[in-house]
Amino acid sequence: MKVNNKIRKKANQKLEEKKHLIDPKYKNFVYTMLFLTVVLILFIVNNSRSEPERGPYPPYYKQNQSGNTLKKAPNFTLPSIDKKNISLSDYAGKVVLLDFWATWCPPCRKGIPDLVELKKEYGDAIEIIGISLDGITYGGRTLKDVEPFVKASKINYPVVHGNTEVIEKYGGINSIPTSFIITKDGFIHSTYVGLVDKSVYKAEIEKLLKKK
């Protein structure tokens, strides 16, 4: 019996040693590090895989030198606040910034002084077109506010009244401000949802103006 007890005791000691290969004080830390290591490996593997080559692009798409796809900016003709019809095609050969906005939208109003400054800085080299959605949001109740707001803000670029057709052409416009930067040859280079810092626009404009 004593021999069996000794054997049993040694076996229990070995079992206890195995249980404590990792010091209990550091067990949570070790498990956390193991988990993070696995996540890091999976991240590296997933991001190191090359993307499969895509099939034919839809009409009005082209591929730029960096491999990104650029979509042709849909043309539109909309009435301006001074009763003129303005088309995107009128500004072919210029970098164009489209700004979908409304007078009732605080971030839209906050961003407009930056757009005014950009127009002052770049003049005829670019065009900014403000597409007001006041006439089709909130039952059009704020439509009357557009012209006074434009004058009070000293907006120095064309402001037109948007409609559901132009919204659909530009992907739905689920949130404003939404802006598009269009290349000199009429392709959508960048899309932004929300308020954009002036420096971001400047960097994009500078890059596109240098392209022939």
Q: Looking at residue 26, what is its pLDDT?
A: 55
Same domain, 177 and 129: yes
Domain encompassing residue 162: 61-210
Q: Looking at residue 70, what is its pLDDT?
A: 78
Rounded Cα gap, residues 116 and 57, in angstroms: 36
The number of domains in the chain is: 2
Q: Looking at residue 31, what is its pLDDT?
A: 57
Same domain, 32 and 134: no
Q: Is the pTM of this model over 0.85?
A: no
Same domain, 17 and 75: no
Rounded Cα gap, residues 90 and 76, in angstroms: 10
Q: Looking at residue 37, what is its pLDDT?
A: 57
Same domain, 72 and 36: no
Q: Is the model's pLDDT at 136 over the cut of 50?
A: yes
Q: What CATH number does residue 114 fall under?
A: 3.40.30.10
Residue 156 lies in a domain: yes
Same domain, 93 and 119: yes
Residue 53 lies in a domain: no
